[in-house]
């Protein structure tokens, strides 16, 4: 059923400060809080829509970063959508943004807000709109590199953290690795939790295919029973991924490399990966994310939903997307408590290793007005 047309009347950028419950260290840096950028849209009837921008503060994960996203939204993307008559919905918004390059997280946030608005106007949940049959998705947890008081990577702390998450019932564990914190971490986890632990590693591009020492470590990791190794090399190095994927028994999963549907099919068809991590922000929006899913499914390539430490606003969309049938692996769709003492929305809860898919009208649950007001650091109206 098509979504009803709306009359996009008002767009606002809202910045919200959200401390993380524990620092999150990856091969590209440490995050202790999220400076969240939200896109808020309203139609002529006063119906609201919200979208979350999945960026980091600095351009260290990919080229996007939060201040850059706010700028491109304010100066380019939102004016393009508000100009030339009223935008009527997601398809209209996508058509008006078609001439703009890059800035995937920013355009994804704007598109998500318009999805949310249209779904609210229709009184329909995103999961219902997408025809999602299941009522919950299996949840994995992504664990950063823990450091001891001197700042050194700490395997014992990692084992303790993972033990806590397993007690909470998370179904699979993804650990961040980097040169110098890889084999010992995986061996420590295997020693503590055995070979049944569903374990995967994420390098966030930290290894060089041109460095024999890096390749030697990755070759050793290949015999530790991992579910997958995620993005060992740089985003552009599809050929290097394909060369090593052909030798390893561990499936290669790509994240940073997969920027849209054609990159996904190129990577899969060229043997660069056997699994795809889908992130809505990285591919430039929910419509594109669904297309990546569809193309991978047509090739029998399993996908899972990645995370960017989203609040409930981004998480709701992720969890509904992860209900599609090609999402056959647990995603980084953890409960709110893994990230925040209190979420912006009603919290997402972990039950028996799963998170329930929202079925209330909209793309995600709305922000709580009191918490939103208390934690907002900036609002810019773009009318
Ligand atoms: O559970 O939302 C989550 C975090 C999952 O590890 C995760 N995200 O590289 O996939 C990643 C990583 C990330 C986090 C990347 C924050 C960028 C920012």
Closest CA to 110 of 263, 261, 287: 287
How far is the centre of ligand 1, averaged over its atoms, from the C-alpha of 217 (Å)? Answer: 23
pLDDT at site 358: 97
Tokens 């981004």, residue located: 314
Per-residue tokens: 86: 């009223």
| CA–CA gap between residue 217 and residue 207 (Å, rounded) | 10
Q: Looking at domain 128-356, which of 3.40.50.300, 3.40.50.150, 3.40.50.2300, 3.20.20.120 is its CATH number? A: 3.20.20.120
Residue-wise DSSP of 295-318:
HHHHTT--EEE---S--HHHHHHH
Q: What's the token pair of residue 334?
A: 């953890």
Q: How far is the CA of 282 from the centre of ligand 1 (A)?
A: 11
User: Is the shortest distance between the CB of 334 and ligand 1 below 6 Å?
Assistant: yes
- Phi, psi angle pair for 125, to nearest 5°: -85, 155
Which of 176, 306, 333 most suits a substitution to test ligand 1, by most atoms within 8 Å of the C-beta? Answer: 306
Helix (H) or strand (E) holding 319: helix 312-321
Secondary structure E strands in 318-375: 354-356
Give burial (CB, 10 Å; 0-12/13-18/19+) of 195. exposed
Give yes or no for residue 312 CB within 6 A of ligand 1: no
How much distance in Å is there from the Cα of 258 to the middle of ligand 1?
Answer: 15
Q: What is the pLDDT of residue 84?
A: 67
Annotated active-site residue 174? The verdict is: no
Confidence (pTM): 0.97
User: Which of 36, 52, 308, 317 should be mutated for ligand 1, with most atoms under 8 A from CB?
Assistant: 308
- Per residue of the chain (383 residues), give pLDDT as tens: 789 898 888 999 999 999 999 999 998 889 999 999 999 999 989 999 999 999 999 999 999 999 999 999 999 999 999 986 677 899 999 999 999 999 999 999 999 999 999 999 999 999 999 999 999 999 999 999 998 888 888 999 999 999 999 999 999 999 999 999 999 999 999 999 999 999 999 999 999 999 999 999 999 999 999 999 999 999 999 999 999 999 999 999 999 999 999 999 999 999 999 999 999 999 999 999 999 999 999 999 999 999 999 999 999 999 999 999 999 999 999 999 999 999 999 999 999 999 999 999 999 999 999 999 999 999 999 97
Q: Looking at the CA of residue 202, tell me the nearest atom of ligand 1.
A: 9
Task: Say if residues 71 and 77 touch (Cβ distance below 8 Å).
Answer: no
Which residue out of 139, 275, 309 has the highest number of ligand 1 atoms within 8 Å of its CB and is therefore the one to mutate?
309
Instruction: Evaluate: CB of 66 within 6 angstroms of ligand 1.
Output: no
In the block, tokens 């995967």 appear at 200
Q: How far apart are CA 212 and CA 52, in angstroms?
A: 40
At 280 the pLDDT is 98
* Domain 8-123+369-382 class, CATH top level: alpha beta
Question: Distance (Å, rounded) from C-alpha 294 to C-alpha 286?
Answer: 12
From 42, 94, 176, 244, the catalytic residue:
176
Task: Report how far apart, in Å, the C-alpha atoms of 66 and of each of 31, 234, 340 are.
Answer: 13, 22, 19
SS3 348: coil
Burial 37-67 (b: 16+ CB within 10 A, else e): bbbbbbbeeebbbbbbbbbbeeeebbebbbe
309 Cα–ligand 1 center, Å: 6
Q: For residue 306, report the distance from its CA to the centre of ligand 1, in Å.
A: 7
- What is the distance between the alpha carbons of residues 43 and 328, in angstroms, rounded to a whole number? 36
Active site residue 279: yes
Assign 3-class secondary structure to 121-159: HHCCEHHHHHCCCCCEEEEEEEECCCECCCCCECHHHHH
Q: Give yes or no for residue 345 CB within 6 A of ligand 1.
A: no
280 to 100, 241, 247, 314, 319: CA distances (angstroms): 17, 22, 30, 9, 11
**How many residues are present in the chain?**
383
pLDDT of residue 327: 98
What does 59-128 look like in DSSP terms, one character per residue?
TTSSS--HHHHHHHIIIIIHHHHHSSS---SHHHHHHHHTT--S-HHHHHHHHHHHHHHHHHHHT-BHHH
The domain ranges of the chain are 8-123+369-382, 128-356
H/E segment holding residue 321: helix 312-321
Ligand 1 pocket, residue 318 CB under 6 Å: no
| pLDDT of amino acid 151 | 83
Cβ–Cβ < 8 Å for 174, 145? no
From the CA of 176, how far away is ligand 1's center (Å)?
Answer: 9
């Amino acid at each position: 059923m098509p979504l009803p047309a709306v009359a996009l009347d008002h767009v606002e950028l809202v910045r919200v400060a959200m401390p993380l419950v524990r620092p999150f260290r990856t091969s590209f840096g440490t995050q202790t809080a999220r400076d969240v950028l939200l896109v808020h849209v309203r139609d002529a009837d006063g119906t609201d829509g919200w979208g979350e921008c999945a960026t980091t503060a600095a351009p260290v994960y990919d080229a996007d970063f939060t201040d850059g996203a706010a700028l491109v939204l304010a100066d380019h993307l939102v004016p393009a959508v508000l100009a030339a008559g009223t935008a009527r919905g997601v398809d209209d918004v996508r058509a008006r943004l078609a001439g703009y390059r890059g800035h995937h997280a920013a355009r994804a946030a704007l598109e998500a807000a318009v999805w949310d608005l249209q779904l609210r106007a229709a009184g329909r949940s995103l999961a219902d709109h997408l025809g999602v049959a299941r009522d919950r998705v299996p949840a994995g947890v992504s664990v950063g590199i823990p450091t001891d008081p001197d700042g050194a990577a700490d395997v014992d702390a990692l084992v303790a953290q993972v033990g806590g998450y397993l007690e909470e019932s998370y179904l699979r564990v993804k650990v961040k690795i980097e040169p110098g914190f890889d084999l010992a971490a995986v061996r420590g986890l295997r020693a503590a939790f055995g070979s049944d632990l569903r374990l995967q590693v994420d390098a966030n591009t930290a290894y060089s295919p041109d460095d024999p020492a890096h390749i030697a470590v990755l070759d050793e990791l290949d015999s530790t029973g991992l579910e997958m190794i995620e993005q060992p090399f740089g985003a552009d190095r599809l050929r290097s991924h394909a060369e090593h994927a052909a030798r390893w028994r561990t499936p290669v999963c790509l994240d940073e490399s997969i920027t849209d549907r054609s990159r996904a099919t190129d990577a899969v068809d060229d043997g660069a990966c056997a699994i795809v991590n889908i992130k809505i922000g990285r591919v430039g929006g929910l419509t594109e994310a669904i297309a990546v899913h569809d193309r991978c499914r047509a090739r029998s390539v399993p996908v899972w939903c990645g995370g960017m430490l989203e609040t409930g606003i981004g998480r709701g969309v992720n969890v509904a997307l992860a209900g599609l049938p090609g999402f056959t692996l647990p995603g980084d769709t953890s409960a709110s408590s893994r990230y925040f003492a209190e979420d912006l929305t009603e919290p997402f809860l972990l039950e028996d290793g799963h998170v329930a898919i929202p079925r209330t009208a909209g793309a995600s649950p709305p922000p709580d007005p009191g918490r939103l007001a208390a934690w907002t650091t900036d609002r810019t109206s773009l009318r």
